[in-house]
Structures are given as C-alpha cells and as structure tokens.
Chains A and B, each alone.
Chain A
Amino acid sequence: MKDFFRVAWLVVRKDLMVEARSLEVVSTTLFFALTVVLVFAFGLVREGTPVGDVSAAILWIATAFSGTLALGRTFERERQADTLRALMLAPADRPAIYAGKLAGMLLLMALVEMVLVPLVGLLFQAPILGHPVHLAALLLAGTTGFAAVGTLFAAMLVRARSRDVMLPILLYPITVPVMIAGVRGTAALFQGTPDEALARFWIALLVFFDVVFVTLALWTFEPVMTE
C-alpha cells in the first residue's frame, strides 16, 4: 500500500516537472477553454445578456472539451519516446501508475477550472460565490469522474489506430451522467433561489460514480494495458 502511493507520487511529480518545463498542455488547454467559452457566448448571448441559464452548461462543456484535449496531449507525450511502455516495464504496481496519471490530470484540470469558473461568472453573471463549497464539491467530484474514465481510455488508446478521434467518441457517451449531474447541480446553485438539496443530490451521485469508476479503472488498467 505504501508502495502504491510512492509510485503514484513519483509519476505525479514527474508529470508536474515535465509540464512545468514546457507549459505546453497547460497553456494550450487554457487557451482552448477560453475559445470554447467565447464560441458559446457568441451563440448564446443576445443583446448583452445570456439566454436562459446557460452558464452552468458552458462551464461544464468547456471543462469536458478542454479535459479531452489535455488527456490527448498528455498521453501523446508519453507515446513520443515510448515512455508509457517504459513505465509499464518498471517493476511497479501498474494500477499505481494509473493513479499517478489520474492525479496529474486532476491537478491540471483543477488549474483550468480555476480560470474557467471566474470567467464564466464574469461573462455570464453567474453567482459563483453564492455557494462556494457546494460548487467546489461539484467540480471536484465531476472532474474526478470525467478524468477517471478519460485517463483509462486515453492510456489504452495510446496504441490504437485513429486514437485522436476515438477518445471523445468513447469518452463522452460514458461520461453523460457526469455532465448531467455537473450541469444540473451547478444550475441548481446558479438559479434565482438556489436549491441546495438538489445540488447535494447531484454531488452524492457524482461521488458514487467516482467510487465505482475509479475502482473499475484501477481494476481494468492492468489487463487492458498488456498487449
């Protein structure tokens, strides 16, 4: 068990170091998230005000889109010098390697969300500071679910053909519950009279989703990664 966390930590630290040097994934993902928000703004803002309660949806769609991009880039980088194979070759617990990659992904997406949330609040007049704890819990639980499935799929697609297009094709249908829960939960917080009970229900669903899919991913990582 101690070894599991040691290996996971090694992988996270390595990923952070690589990212800190190049800033490639962070900068491109952030800019991409920004463009997604803008594209939606042009479609959904009429005469200076957004139509309906779109801010929650835009926040989550931008998160999912930029998350997909980051997943693809992160694993493309592990593919370039075949380093993912080198990780598989190490005598470490393979699920620990998955856990490390997942944690790295989560940190990256958290960073993106820290920019996205204020941006959405600013551009769409969303009350992001109304229930900060609930909102943070929704984002954390939702992002974990999305990244848990995404990390496994991106890792296994490293050796597949047409992997760029396959990742969103596989990932989005599976993460529909995450999107529904995230958007509806956030919308419940953003509406005129916030519905905390509803938000809590969606958080609970997301946590349950996380538990099931992180477990399942840890479990399937070894068999799907052995070629």
Chain B
Amino acid sequence: MIDDFARLSVSSLSRHYGRRKALSRVTFTCDAGDIVGLLGPNGAGKSTLLAILGTLLAPSEGTVEYGTVTAEKGGAGLRARIGMLGHDLFLYPELTAFENLVFFGRMYGLRDAPARATAALDRAGLGERAHDHVSGYSRGMRQRVALERALLHGPRLLLLDEPFTGLDQASAAALVARLREEQARGVLIVLATHDLDVVDGLLTRELFLRNGRLMSVGTGEGPLRDRYHAAIMAS
C-alpha cells in the first residue's frame, strides 16, 4: 500500500495508435480536492486519458506522477488507491448488484466487503433490489451500482467516464452531491462528460480537449457552455 498522494501531475502525455494520435502532449495537475473535468467532442482523447491515469494503458510518451510515484513503480499498491468508473461500467450482468460489489471488494482485499456492499447499495437507493441480477437493471441503476463499485474501497483518485449517462435529474443531483462529499474528503477527481449543464459549477478545473490536444484550461468561472464553445469551436 502506498501513502495517499495529494497531487496528480501529468506532463507532456501522448498516446499513439500507429499514426493516429489519441492523445498529444497533454499537461496538467490535479490537487487534493480538485474536480477536473475533461470536456470535448467524441474522439477528443478523454477515455484514453482516463485509461492512462487508471494505469490500464501505458503512455507512448510523457509521464504521470501520483504524488511521487509513477504507475510502473506503484504497481498493485497504486492500483489499490484508484477507483474507476468505466464507460462500459465494469459489472457482470449475470451477478446481482450485491455480488458484483462483494466480488470487486474482495479483489481489492477488503475484509468487510459484504457490509460495505450493503451500505453502498443502501446509499445508492438500491437496497431493495440488491439481490436482483444487474442484467435486469435500467441504465441509470447500473450507472449507480458502477459508481458504488468504483468508490467501494475508498480510493484516493477517482476517475469517471461519462458518469451522468442515463441518470435522471434527481440521480444526477445526488451524484453531484456525492462528488462534493468526496471532494471535501480530499479525493482527487477526474471526470469526462458531455453534460455541461450538470457539471457547471462543480468543476474546479476544466480541460478542453479536441483531437487529443489540450485546447485550453478553464478555472471554473463564468458559464461553462460559453467557455466550452470558445475553447472548442473557436480554433
């Protein structure tokens, strides 16, 4: 297990697939309590960036430092401190929500995985359906389970790929509140999203990405939609 880090620094990060550049020289930092938003059209490199931050993908060039550690040195101890909500949700449809959470909890070495899973499902408002198969859930419900899955082991760095997809207004508001809670506890949050209205005011820093490049960095002031258009459309 490695110590909790207070800063994530990404410098000159690139990832190529042959000649296609999914990500090109992206540099930014994220400190404890920051909620960094990755914003941009499809194919902007948001998912690639999240995969690299989650240590699933090795960068072609550049470095990512979690505090003072790199992914290569951090290994399993570092992975234990990262929570990730993938675009495809990372859930087994044949298992119940409870079983999913317990399985992943145990994979993360949590001794009290069942208790945590119960608590998490209650918090997500799915306590009653905890023992239903995930395949019978609506997209929004799965999304909520997947989020609890990512948070179950109390990660230091939280990576979310389109967390608002399929959520109704109430659930989205609950998620925003939840993220603020985690933020207050000093968790570093990086999220990719298309829902500009939902995250307006939530983000402390915005990275506007297009074609794998970082177009500009916002600091969370003024209407997000305007700044998005200025950053993405203008150039």
Interface string of B43-79 (1 = CB under 8 A from A): 0000000010011111000000000000000001111
Question: B202 interface residue, CB < 8 Å from A?
Answer: no
Is the CB–CB distance between B104 and A86 below 8 Å? yes
Question: A82 interface residue, CB < 8 Å from B?
Answer: yes
Q: Which of A21, A22, A82, A91 contacts B77 (CB 8 A)?
A: A91
Q: Dominant SS at the B interface?
A: loop
Interface string of B91-117 (1 = CB under 8 A from A): 111110001000110111100000000
Which residues of A167-218 have CB atoms within 8 Å of chain B's CB atoms? Answer: none
Is the CB–CB distance between B108 and A81 below 8 Å? no
Question: B28 interface residue, CB < 8 Å from A?
Answer: no
Question: A122 interface residue, CB < 8 Å from B?
Answer: no
With A17-B99, A21-B95, A22-B94 as known contacts, state yes or no: A82 contacts B89, CB within 8 Å: yes
Contacts of B78 in A (CB 8 A): 91
The CA of A57 and the CA of B210, in the complex, are separated in Å by 57
Chain A: minimal CB distance from B73 (Å): 14
Interface residues in chain B, defined as those with a beta carbon under 8 Å from any beta carbon in chain A = 51, 54-58, 76-80, 82, 84, 86-95, 99, 103-104, 106-109, 133
The CA of A226 and the CA of B88, in the complex, are separated in Å by 19
Q: Which of A7, A18, A83, A227 contacts B56 (CB 8 A)?
A: A227
Chain A to chain B: the 7 pairs with minimum beta-carbon distance, closest first: A91-B80, A82-B88, A86-B90, A90-B107, A91-B76, A91-B79, A21-B94
Is the CB–CB distance between B133 and A21 below 8 Å? yes
